[in-house]
Structure 1
Amino acid sequence: MSDAVHAPAPASPARSAPPATGRRRGIPTRTPHQVPGRGRMGGPLTGIPWALPAVLLVGVLLVYPFFRSVYGSLFEDNGFTSSFTGLDNYTRLADDPIFGRSLLNTVMWVAGTLLLPVAAGLAIAVATHRMRFGRLAQLVIVLPYAISGAATAVLWKFILTTDGALNEVLRAVGLDSLAQGWLLEWPQNTLSMIVASTWQATGLNVVLFAIGLNAIPRDTVEAAELDGAGGWRMFRHITLPQLRAVSVVVVGMAIVNSLKAFDMIWVLTQGGPARSSETLALTMYREAFRLFHVGYGSAIALVLSVIVVASSWMYLRRQMPGTSAPKS
């Protein structure tokens, strides 16, 4: 048997790695010019067609009426004929006692709707936050907010008239001397309407402050309790600072709503007696649409718009440091 010499088998050629292609199985390639999150219509102008309807709506409903009022305030216009008078309508404001009383009533509304509904809403929200039936109590207080301003005014007119429910109750308990015409004399007519507005507006403030209380971190409260904080100290140093963001919203809404108060005043007194309870919004409406002093009403509307924008801007600038100009 001869020895067979077995030559080693030739080595198989090494498999070469597939060429790098930029595409893996199941993963689409991306060309260098593509940007994640943008479609084929990428670019800074992509959103213009989508925003255009909203811009047109704001322009038609807000921007055009504003500039139309500015233009109309320079004319003496009765709805049929008009003549250019320049700034005469604005100089007339300074000498008009009705405008002065309306401005004073508007300031009273702003002060009243800041002190009463905001303070009452905060106090009720804090008092019922950990109460056993706190949610139920908050629901009862919120219910008046579901009623329209006109319906609320009708209800309070039944209460505040000379022969209304309030005077009847006072007479029934022997307090006849306190019974009076609550809506017949200034300033008690304005103060009475502020109370009626507070009854309706407090519910919304309770809801907003309750949301803010629920957002306060529990760890912060527990740490304060371990340090001995409680009662007034807890409210002043923990609760109130944590509610700052909500307070900005609540106070801002109260300012704007009080400056444009109309429906409740119109239903309760129609600005009377002798226009003593009018606010700027009501005076503007009466001058422009009842007495047909369109130019003068436009001047009042412009003054009211400036007051609303200026007061809101100053408040937000004071409460939100990010809106103030950086110091050099």
Structure 2
Amino acid sequence: MTTPTVLPDRAVAAAGAAASPGGPGRPGRFALFGRLRYLYISPAVVFVAVLLYLPFVWTAYLSLTTYDGLGSAEFTGLDNYVRMFHDEALLTSIRNTLLWVVGTTVLPVGLGLLVAVLSYDLKGGGWFRLPFLLPYAMSGAGLGLIWGFILQPDGMANQVLTFFGMPGGDTEFLQDGPRNTIAMIVVWAWQQLGVNMLLFVVGLQSIPRAPIEAARIDGASGWRMFRHVIWPLMRPLTTVVFGLALVASLKTFDIVWVMTQGGPGRTSETLAVTMYRDVFVADDYGYGSAVAVLLTTITGLASYVYLRRQAGREEG
């Protein structure tokens, strides 16, 4: 019986070096590729830095200055940030942005989930879902033009309500805040419902059938089936859908600008509209940059808190 030979550590290291593709004393081919991995990803890193990080750094710098687009910027420190919290228009903008966050994460996501669940096992469900998908093909500007015409004073909505003798025929949907913001949230939800519904349908189709069949055998159906089986299995997708809706709500601009331009009297502005007005209409680049930094900070913090909370639920 032959006793296996035990090599000392130096012999093992020498054997590994000799067997490496680069030969003894030189790194192997895979080790060389590992060292070059930073070189491979450097173009993408530079691309992201140039398009994202450098503009943000420049915006953050402008937020500390007074600059009207002409001449040189004058450094003023935190004056723009102090000014923000004494600006009633900005406080109204923050309130409207919070309304957008609540409305556009509850209405289109909740209704999209409801339509997806109700039409999933329905015969001809694809045709039932088609009308909900069509509005998503429209741009935000086109949507704003159409609904701005419908909801304007003495517009189509007022005329239809008056013709059928229904209450609200004299309502000014876009003239008073926060009613105008709520009206635009409903319009946005009407457009976004379809894509959220489609995402949830894809999520339902990816659920394994075995847990559902087992729950049916145990007598689960309806609300119990959804709450205890379907909803937990769809939680990862729901996290993504809510996250996308949250970010979209915080940067809402096009539909507000087209329908009301933030008016009347800046009562329907969001933070994105306020930023645009201060920079490109009022030529107040310093103050507009401060609003942009505030919006970016709120978006980042809200996304971070939401994702951490969802991750904690999944781990728990």
What is the Cα deviation at residue 202 of structure 1? 0.7
Distance 1:185-1:202 versus aligned 2 partners, 3 A rule: same
What is the Cα deviation at residue 68 of structure 1? 0.6
> Normalising by the residue count of structure 2, what TM-score does the alignment of the two structures yield?
0.88
2:274 pairs, out of 283, 286, 296, with 283
Unaligned runs of 5+ in 1: 1-30
In structure 2, distance between residues paired with 1:308 and 1:114: 14
Distance 1:73-1:43 versus aligned 2 partners, 3 A rule: same
Structure 2 match to 1:3: none
In structure 1, distance between residues paired with 2:225 and 2:30: 56
TM-align CA RMSD: 2.0
User: Retained in 1: the 8 A contact 2:159–2:169?
Assistant: no
Structure 2 match to 1:190: 181
Letter aligned with residue 20 of structure 2: H
Structure 1 match to 2:10: none
The correspondence of residues 45-194 of structure 1 with structure 2, limited to 5 A, is 45-81=35-71, 82-175=73-166, 177-194=168-185
In structure 1, distance between residues paired with 2:313 and 2:123: 39
In structure 2, distance between residues paired with 1:74 and 1:312: 25
In structure 2, distance between residues paired with 1:244 and 1:112: 20
1:244 pairs, out of 235, 238, 246, with 235
The correspondence of residues 162-311 of structure 1 with structure 2, limited to 5 A, is 162-175=153-166, 177-311=168-302
> Normalising by the residue count of structure 1, what TM-score does the alignment of the two structures yield?
0.85
In structure 2, distance between residues paired with 1:118 and 1:195: 12
Structure 1 match to 2:308: 317
In structure 2, distance between residues paired with 1:176 and 1:320: 46
In structure 2, distance between residues paired with 1:230 and 1:48: 53
3-state SS, counterpart of residue 74 of structure 2: strand
3-state SS, counterpart of residue 222 of structure 1: helix
Letter aligned with residue 46 of structure 1: L
Q: Which structure: greater helix fraction? A: 2
In structure 2, distance between residues paired with 1:136 and 1:267: 32
What is the Cα deviation at residue 78 of structure 1? 1.1
Structure 2 match to 1:4: none
What is the Cα deviation at residue 177 of structure 1? 4.5
What is the Cα deviation at residue 323 of structure 1? 10
Distance 1:237-1:169 versus aligned 2 partners, 3 A rule: same
3-state SS, counterpart of residue 234 of structure 1: helix
Unaligned runs of 5+ in 2: 1-17, 23-27
